[in-house]
Amino acid sequence: MGAVDSCRGSGPRPGPGHVSLLVTGFEPFDGQPVNASWLAVQALARDWRGGGLETLCLPVSYARAPVTLLAAVERLRPEVVLCTGEAGGRAALSVERVALNVADARIPDNDGAQPVDETLVPGESLALPTGLPLRACVDAVARAGVDVEVSSSAGTFVCNAVFYALARALVGTGLPHGFVHVPRTPAQVPAPGGGMPADVAATGLAAILSTCAAT
Ligand code: PCA
C-alpha cells in the first residue's frame, strides 16, 4: 500500500456549510504500512455528528507538511485546528504542551531529509505553547474512558515541525489549536494487548473537539 493510498479519504468533501473544525493526520512513515493518526482521524470523521469537520492527511515531510497545513488553514478558516501524529512507543493519547523551534531527525522523512540540530524558523521563539485548553482536554478524554496524558515534548521530527508552524500561525488569535500524538494500533504493535484501536483514539479526539467547541 503506497502512501497516497494510505491517505485516501483526505481532501475537501462535497457539501455546503462552513468548516469549523480542521483535523489532520499523517501518511505512513518509518516502514509502517499505515499511520495510526490518519486511521484515528478517519474513524473520527466517520462517527462525527457535529458537522463542519474537515480532515486532511499530511505528508511526512519537513518541507511540505507545514505549508500544506497552513494553506488549508488559510483556505478553510477553521475555528479549531487539531493536528495529530503517530507516536511509536506511547500507550496513551498524548496532548502536547509545547512546540519547539528545533528540527533534529533520527530517521529521514519521506522526502529523504534528515536535519540535525537545525532551527525551524531562525530568529523566532525557541518554544511556543499549545493553543488547546490543556487540562480541560485531558480531563474530557479521561472522562470518555480513553488513556491520556499531557506530553511535554512532541519530539523534533515532522510532527513537532507542523505543531510549531501551527502555533506560530495562530498564536494570539484565540482559536483553539494544538497537537495530539496517537499510539500505534494493536495491529502495529507486536506485544499482546499493546496499542490503541483507532476508534478508541477517535473517541478521545472527539472529546477534545467537543471541549474546544464549548470553550
Ligand atoms: N509521527 C511523526 C511524524 C509523522 C507521524 O505520524 C512524529 O512524531 O514526528
**Location of C-alpha cell 496524558:** 149
What pLDDT, in 10s, does the model give residues 79-120?
Answer: 999 999 999 999 999 999 999 999 999 999 999 999 999 999
Catalytic residue among 7, 57, 96, 137: 96
- CA nearest to 215, candidates 134, 123, 143: 134
Q: Which amino acid is at 61?
A: S
pLDDT, position 193: 86
What span, in angstroms and rounded, lies between the C-alpha atoms of 100 and 108?
Answer: 19
| 1: pLDDT strictly greater than 80 | no
Residue 118 appears among annotated catalytic residues: no
> What's the pLDDT at 97?
98
Q: Residues lining ligand 1, CB < 6 A?
A: 26, 29, 35, 37, 60, 85-87, 155, 157-159
With contact defined as beta carbons under 8 Å apart, do 213 and 80 qualify? yes
Ligand 1 centre and the CA of 46: distance in Å?
23
Average of per-residue pLDDT across 181-194:
93
- pLDDT higher than threshold 70 for residue 36: yes
Domains of the chain: 3-214 (3.40.630.20)
Cβ-proximal residues to 59 (8 Å cutoff; 6+ apart), any chain:
3, 26, 27, 65, 68, 110, 111
pLDDT of residue 14: 39
Give the number of the atom of ligand 1 that is nearest the alpha carbon of residue 25. Answer: 6
